[in-house]
Structure 1
Amino acid sequence: MKNKMELYFKAAQSAKIGIWKMNLQTEDIYWDAVTKFILEVPKDFIATVSNGIDFYTFGENRDRIKKFVDRAINEGISFEDKFQITTAKNNLKYVECICQVEFLDGKAINLLGTFQDITKEQNLINELQLSVEKFSSIFSSANDAIFIVDTSNGIITDCNSRSSELTGYLDSEIRGMHNSILFTVEFRKALRFFIKYNLTKNEYTVNDTYIKAKSGNSIAVEIASGKKFKVGDLTYLVCFVRDITERKNVEDKLNLLSLAASGTTDTIVIANSNGEAIWANQAYLDLTGLGMTEVLGQKPGYLSKGPETDIESTAMMRKAIKNKESINITILNYTKTKEKYWFELNISTVFDSENNFLHFIGVGRNVTLRIEKELELKRLLEITNSQNNKLYNFAHIISHNIRSHTSNLSMVIDVIDHTDDIPEKLSYFDLFKEGTQKLSETIEYLNEIITIQQKTNIEKKSIRLKHEIEKTRMALSLSIKASEIVITHSIPNSLMVSVIPAYLDSILLNLFTNAIKYKSPNRNATLEISYETKDNYNIINFKDNGLGLNLEKDGHKLFGMYKTFHGNEDAKGIGLFLTKNQLEAMGGKIEVESKVGQGSNFKIYLNEK
């Protein structure tokens, strides 16, 4: 007997099964090395009933082991069960405890048992149970109808509640039903092929078909198969069935729309809820130059943006699509070959009966001719307004200047007419001659102004600025030498400017001669010419150290006709007026910085567009 027990203990240790014993007379408890190892206690640990019970997790597990041990001691009833324990190192484990009661003369004298760590197995069971619970939850609450089909005979072995809602059959009627009953005759052959294919390939597939409800109605569905699985010798296939009646209705409507839209000259694009194109008509492809493969799956217009496309308009469309809102907009787009066109687009939103968003529909047309005419009309209106303003100002100039000269001439003629003294009459002819000469000069200046203002579209040329400055300095060399003015410049030889050559020549002459005329008598005269670039302008600075100007007093009339400020006898007050008009005719402008007694800096802006 002793040898048998030793063999049993060795076999148990080999299988990592712990042995324990409790003497009911002395309450001594024996734990072998495996039991202590499982409980993670030292080898010299002395077990008692109390501390042994404490290893069982507080609550239901501890209560259950107490109950089993009490019944074994008092009633001699053996037990076998699984428990959760907390080891001496505070680790959670699962164990299987088996207890046999040993009797002598009908009285229980010992409890003998085994103690086995089943943590791995129990964790697997727990995970499996959790997976089963998750599957059951998904299975019962899924939106799709789910059928599990025995592939050996085509019988539906299980289904979820959605199956009953879809087909009209009770769950109890579906279970045990052959799958072919749910399908109309014309689709049964396809269904058999579908099941056979999935059993062969064992992969996820989706097909559109129709099922026959209990009422006899046909319902459009999408049927998808999961991978097959085996239970014993039987193979099962899981089929997911979804009602796509509404989608089919929409597709049918889209097909009708496609037929109607394919013949229209307006462009039509249909996009999904993400704004990605799912259909476009031929007019859209013709306008953009894109192929259908370049359009589908992309956001319409992703290749239509260019350097002149309005950023704000693009942002407005992006915002409307994000918020699923309708929008009407006109925007400058580009074709695939980068040709510009104006596009008038109306984006509408489509919702189903339950207010779920379905599609965007964009209807557009090429309105390039209309927009170009509108822009041309706007440009002509701006020119007309500008010309009207110039004409208005010009009328004032004529009214003031010519009237002054003619008034003086009338006075001279009146004096000549009312005197009989011949020498006196002759003396007034010099005044008459001088008056007619000034009138002629005025008319000549006014004619020049008219010429400048009429040439709104005169062609500009690209010329080398340094060369023009040197040419002007050479033409005025005698005046420069006589005035002893020092003229320097930092204009590089490579600087090209876009100008009307005759106007630039006139501007340079005026600015050079002004620096000479209005030099200061208190210092050596200088004129420094430099340049800078800003936006679309080349800015040329003419900085002198001459008499300077009181801009606070005279700045508002500086560029007026016949405005002089220093009392020079040869000053006519026409140079800066002409310079301003010539620069404006070239799309430029003139500005001045000046202080009395310090000099002036005339800044001419040459528009390089």
Structure 2
Amino acid sequence: MTKHKIYIEAAETAKIGIWESNLETDTVYWDSITKSILEVPEDFVPVNGSGINFYTEGKNREKIRSLIQRATDCGISFIDKFQITTAKNNIKYVECICQVEVVNNKVTRLLGTFQDITKEQNLINELQLSVEKFSSVFSSANDAIIIINSASGIISDCNPRSYELTGYSSSELMGLHNSELFPMEKRKEIRVFLADQLKKDDHFVKETYIKSYDGTIIPIEVASGKKFMIDNQTFLVCFLRDISERKNSDYTLNMLSLVASETTDAILISNPDGIAVWANKSYTKLTGYSLEETVGKKPRYLLNGPETDLQTIHNINFAIENKKDLKFTILNYNKSNEKFWYESNITPVFDDRGNCIKFVCVGRDVTARIEKEIELKRILEVTSQQNNKLFNFAHIVSHNIRSHTSNLLMVLDVIETAKDTNEKLSYIEMFKEGTEKLSETIEYLNEIITIQKNTNIKKKDINLHDEIEKTKITLRLSILKSQIEINHTIPDDLTVSVIPAYLDSILLNLFTNAIKYRSRKRKSFLEIGYEVNEHYTIISFKDNGLGLNLKKNGHKIFGMYKTFHGNEDARGIGLCITKNQLEAMKGKIEVESEEGIGSVFKIYINEK
């Protein structure tokens, strides 16, 4: 086997193409490997110059043309790398070797090899890109980056940020032992730590301090990448970050946290959805819920109760949903289900981009203040009621009693001026009638004053069913005469907490009113029913009597001497006394009525 044949077989095995250009015969030869690289058919016949067009247009094509020209004219061989575009329009990288054959000082033939190096070139390109990226990051990084020779501890390279952080110049920092950057008391710790990290070959982050060129101590966070080797030397990349601002923020935050933890105000911090993430001691003490019970929940779920105001809850939810601040006072319930009044401010906290990141709720227990306000309001209401009653009494005293006394004085004057004895005696009956009416008025006033004065009489539990039956027996003649039908649905065991004498008076008055003001046009009835709620036992008295025009007379129905139907026996005092008796027992009376249809009186008996 000839050397030429051995060479061709070796080239095929190594996938190296062989090409030849005979300048004397003006012929070109490409082997199958060369054709495969150029992605042309096996039967493709190259001609002189056709190969140039496969080199990518631009510098690659110009370079190969120039090298071929030099080889042809001057007999200079070459070896170089090129980018080509194949017949199938694929980009490849090739290495082309050209040898020159000279006969009688004349170049007669160019021959060489053609090898596809696309994979190798792509790896080189990627490596160059990575180097460029690393170089860019290395130069422009906000963190100081130093590369330490692990054997000597010497800083072999660093980026510009290192000079700013340490205060050293590039010439001073390069070649400096890394321990010189740290305060004396930190050097041993850092030396041991770096040695340990080199053994582990693992990423680490540690807070420590460096000492700058001018002696300033700077808190830093030092981090490392993995070690790498060049020429059998191990190097470690370290990142140094100035955390002075963070340390100052941490200190300020710790101080604020201490203040927040120890303040007497209750402080709660929630996420943007209103879910608690932290609460101070005052908050947990006030609510009775521990920090673990509070965090992760919406406070309103824990603190709401039966008397919590729904509108205030709506306002709180609206403020959280719309990221608004809100000041409110609400009745809360602690873990032991005890009520307390809570005054609070909700304030949203926003980041630099305007996004709500949390809510801060600062509140306090204002139960004592609110209770005083409620008591003051109650006192004002009682005072207002008393003033109205005094005004009513003043009106009665000034009008009714004065009218009676004026009538009596007129009768006396007539008696004195009368000359005949029989005439004088005839006026004595008028004087007697006037004194009786005055006595009756004073008696009514005294009864109402007595009711309002005796507010501390103890109430007793009375069987309501029995009391209603007793009242029916007492009024049986009137009931029989009026032919009114009286029915009730009061259970045998229903008891009410009342002043017995007052209940007796109230029942008598409501029964007699139904009898007295019954309609003569239809058969009369009185139906007595009841209901019980959380605060009252409510007794209803429904009749089909004459009824009232409440629009016209509703404001004066419970006043003294108010009559509406012209009955001769009406005194206009019964409902006034009933109202006062119920109010003395912390109850009330209400009326529903329609003229010509009937009325429903409801008495509310306070069971507390």
2:251 equivalent to 1:251 = yes
Provide the rounded CA distance (Å) in 1 between the counterparts of 2:267 and 2:390.
54
Q: Supply the AA of the counterpart residue of 1:517.
A: K
Map 1:126-205 to 2 at 5 A: 126=126, 139-199=138-198, 202-205=202-205
Provide the rounded CA distance (Å) in 1 between the counterparts of 2:474 and 2:87.
110
The match for 1:442 is 441
Provide the rounded CA distance (Å) in 1 between the counterparts of 2:304 and 2:531.
30
Q: How far did 1:197 drift? A: 4.8
Q: Deviations over 1:63-85 (max 9, x none)?
A: 35544564566556664245799
Q: How far did 1:566 drift? A: 0.9
Q: How far did 1:30 drift? A: 8.4
Q: How far did 1:185 drift? A: 1.7
Answer whether contact 1:267 1:364 (CA < 8 A) is retained: no
SS in 1 for 2:161: helix
The match for 2:216 is 217
SS in 2 for 1:267: coil
Distance 1:167 1:100, change over 3 A: closer
Answer whether contact 1:548 1:599 (CA < 8 A) is retained: yes
Answer whether contact 1:30 1:47 (CA < 8 A) is retained: no
Percent identity among equivalent residues? 49
The match for 2:409 is 410
Answer whether contact 2:224 2:236 (CA < 8 A) is retained: no
2:58 equivalent to 1:63 = yes
Provide the rounded CA distance (Å) in 2 between the counterparts of 1:507 and 1:28.
133
Provide the rounded CA distance (Å) in 1 between the counterparts of 2:134 and 2:455.
81
The match for 1:238 is 238
SS in 1 for 2:179: helix
2:227 equivalent to 1:229 = yes
Report the TM-score when normalising by structure 2.
0.68
Q: Supply the AA of the counterpart residue of 1:444.
A: E
The match for 2:570 is 571
Distance 1:32 1:216, change over 3 A: closer
Answer whether contact 1:520 1:547 (CA < 8 A) is retained: yes
Distance 1:448 1:269, change over 3 A: closer
The match for 2:389 is 390
Q: Deviations over 1:301-342 (max 9, x none)?
A: 99995647888699799979x9999x9998877777666667
Answer whether contact 2:32 2:42 (CA < 8 A) is retained: no
The two structures, once aligned, show a CA RMSD in angstroms of 6.0
Provide the rounded CA distance (Å) in 1 between the counterparts of 2:533 and 2:565.
33
Answer whether contact 2:509 2:575 (CA < 8 A) is retained: yes
Q: Deviations over 1:210-238 (max 9, x none)?
A: 4322122333x033324543234514152
Distance 1:520 1:383, change over 3 A: closer
Answer whether contact 2:21 2:110 (CA < 8 A) is retained: yes
Answer whether contact 2:266 2:282 (CA < 8 A) is retained: no
Map 1:332-351 to 2 at 5 A: none
2:94 equivalent to 1:97 = yes
Provide the rounded CA distance (Å) in 1 between the counterparts of 2:428 and 2:412.
9
Answer whether contact 1:460 1:499 (CA < 8 A) is retained: yes
Q: Supply the AA of the counterpart residue of 2:93.
A: E
Provide the rounded CA distance (Å) in 1 between the counterparts of 2:515 and 2:52.
118
Provide the rounded CA distance (Å) in 1 between the counterparts of 2:538 and 2:53.
95
The match for 1:353 is none
Answer whether contact 1:586 1:607 (CA < 8 A) is retained: yes
Answer whether contact 2:267 2:282 (CA < 8 A) is retained: no
Q: How far did 1:507 drift? A: 4.5
Provide the rounded CA distance (Å) in 1 between the counterparts of 2:433 and 2:575.
24
Provide the rounded CA distance (Å) in 2 between the counterparts of 1:506 and 1:123.
110
Choose the corresponding residue for 1:267, options 259, 264, 267: 264
Provide the rounded CA distance (Å) in 2 between the counterparts of 1:502 and 1:82.
119
Provide the rounded CA distance (Å) in 1 between the counterparts of 2:553 and 2:456.
33
Q: How far did 1:170 drift? A: 1.9
2:400 equivalent to 1:401 = yes
Instruction: Tell me whether 296-305 or 573-582 shows the greater mean CA deviation.
Output: 296-305
Distance 1:278 1:565, change over 3 A: closer
The match for 1:113 is 114
The match for 1:80 is 81
Distance 1:459 1:134, change over 3 A: farther
Q: Supply the AA of the counterpart residue of 1:162.
A: R
Instruction: Tell me whether 109-118 or 296-305 shows the greater mean CA deviation.
Output: 296-305
Provide the rounded CA distance (Å) in 1 between the counterparts of 2:508 and 2:51.
116
SS in 1 for 2:58: helix
SS in 2 for 1:396: helix
Matched positions, count: 574
Q: How far did 1:564 drift? A: 1.0
Q: Supply the AA of the counterpart residue of 2:58.
A: D
Q: Supply the AA of the counterpart residue of 1:568.
A: N
Q: How far did 1:95 drift? A: 3.5
Answer whether contact 1:96 1:116 (CA < 8 A) is retained: yes
Q: Supply the AA of the counterpart residue of 1:267.
A: T
Answer whether contact 2:270 2:277 (CA < 8 A) is retained: no
Answer whether contact 2:203 2:225 (CA < 8 A) is retained: yes
Distance 1:205 1:523, change over 3 A: same
The match for 1:554 is 553
Distance 1:578 1:237, change over 3 A: farther
- Structure 1 alignment gaps of length 5 or more: 351-358
Distance 1:73 1:569, change over 3 A: farther
Q: Deviations over 1:160-185 (max 9, x none)?
A: 43332332222442232222212222
Q: How far did 1:142 drift? A: 4.9
SS in 2 for 1:549: coil
Map 1:417-496 to 2 at 5 A: 417-419=416-418, 424-454=423-453, 476=475, 479-487=478-486
Q: Supply the AA of the counterpart residue of 1:230.
A: F
Q: How far did 1:403 drift? A: 2.2
Q: How far did 1:391 drift? A: 2.0
Distance 1:160 1:429, change over 3 A: farther
Answer whether contact 2:204 2:224 (CA < 8 A) is retained: yes
Provide the rounded CA distance (Å) in 2 between the counterparts of 1:527 and 1:51.
125
Answer whether contact 1:561 1:577 (CA < 8 A) is retained: yes
- Structure 2 alignment gaps of length 5 or more: 72-77, 350-357
Map 1:247-396 to 2 at 5 A: 247-248=247-248, 251=251, 267=264, 307=305, 372-373=371-372, 375-396=374-395
Q: How far did 1:493 drift? A: 8.7
